[in-house]
Amino acid sequence: MPQDPGPRVIVALDFPASDPALRLLDRLDPRRCRVKIGKELFTRAGPALVERVCALGFEVFLDLKYHDIPNTVAAACAAAADLGVWMLNVHASGGRRMLSAARERLDGRSQRPLLIAVTVLTSLDADELEEIGFRGTPAENVERLAGLAQDTGLDGVVCSPREAAGLRRRFGEDFRLVTPGVRPAGAAMGDQRRVATPAEALAAGAHYLVIGRPITAAPDPAASLRHILEEIERS
């Protein structure tokens, strides 16, 4: 694990407006979790909310999955870094020049955000992948795109807990693995299908766990986070 004394749980703020997101953050401690702001909340509440969440002391993973021509993606990454985010992501399938441009634009900042790649969306099955022109199995594509991300200097990838062990072996300790699809023992699955417990995901090599509804939809989100952290400590 690269040096990072910060929290390993990233709470997904999947809300349709800033008010419920801020109400949740009132009940969480930035020393115990980081947070993820994705496309829905960002599109509704915008950069002002990102800056506000950063000002509350939370480290923010801005999950906007940029995918465009190199110059546009590099400029968007710089804009995200200006908001003060801790981590952001791009699609590895944007290609080598796009990934390098994004990385280079962030280099030289005193507080550079971590730059993570999305490999293959887990919603795509083998048939859909073939339909959009990808050869090989989803797993082969994940590995190839993760290799491209590492080769272009990115800090890691988003991956499922099931992919984590293989990627950890292949790409080493310093390549950050961020895993959604995490459910504490006994929690509702929601629409997730292939899940792992926090302990299983960490044992497989994940550095950071993205967890949404088990915390955000809990009657007592702080208690739910506490239980998850205890489960991690025990593992």
Task: Kindly tell me which of 91 and 103 has the beta carbon lying closer to ligand C5P.
Answer: 91
Task: Kindly tell me which of 109 and 190 has the beta carbon lying closer to ligand C5P.
Answer: 190
Q: Annotate 32-93 with DSSP letters as a single string.
A: T-EEEEEHHHHHHHHHHHHHHHHHTT--EEEEEEE-S-HHHHHHHHHHHHHTT-SEEEEEGG
Binding to ligand C5P in span 166-205, by CB under 6 A: 180-181, 190, 192
Hey, CA dihedral for 63, 67, 70, 76, is it positive or negative?
A: negative
Select from 165, 203, 213, 229 the one that contacts ligand C5P (CB under 6 A). 213
- Closest CB 159 distance from ligand C5P, rounded Å: 8
- Closest CB 181 distance from ligand C5P, rounded Å: 6
Task: Kindly tell me which of 23 and 109 has the beta carbon lying closer to ligand C5P.
Answer: 23
Select from 25, 45, 211, 225 the one that contacts ligand C5P (CB under 6 A). 211
CB contact at 8 A, 210 and 17? no
Residue nearest to ligand C5P (CB): 212
Residue 65 annotated to the active site: yes
**DSSP 3-state assignment of 176?**
strand
**Among 15-23, 24-32, 131-139, 207-215, which window interacts with ligand C5P (CB under 6 A)?**
207-215
Number of residues located near ligand C5P, criterion CB under 6 A: 13
Catalytic residue among 32, 52, 65, 144: 65
Radius of gyration of the chain (CA): 17
Rounded to the nearest 10°, the torsion over CA 158, 197, 172, 7 is 80
> x/- contact string, 121-160, with ligand C5P (CB under 6 A)?
-x-----------------------------------x--
Whose tokens are 């550095």? That residue is 207
The reply to whether 210 sits near ligand C5P by the rule CB under 6 A is: yes
Binding to ligand C5P in span 73-132, by CB under 6 A: 122
H helix runs in the chain, sequence order? 18-26, 39-55, 70-82, 96-106, 126-131, 138-151, 161-171, 198-203, 213-216, 221-234
The reply to whether 49 sits near ligand C5P by the rule CB under 6 A is: no
Rounded to an integer, what distance in angstroms lies between the CA atom of residue 163 and that of residue 27? Answer: 32
Contact residues: ligand C5P, CB under 6 A:
12, 14, 38, 122, 158, 180-181, 190, 192, 210-213
State the catalytic residues.
65
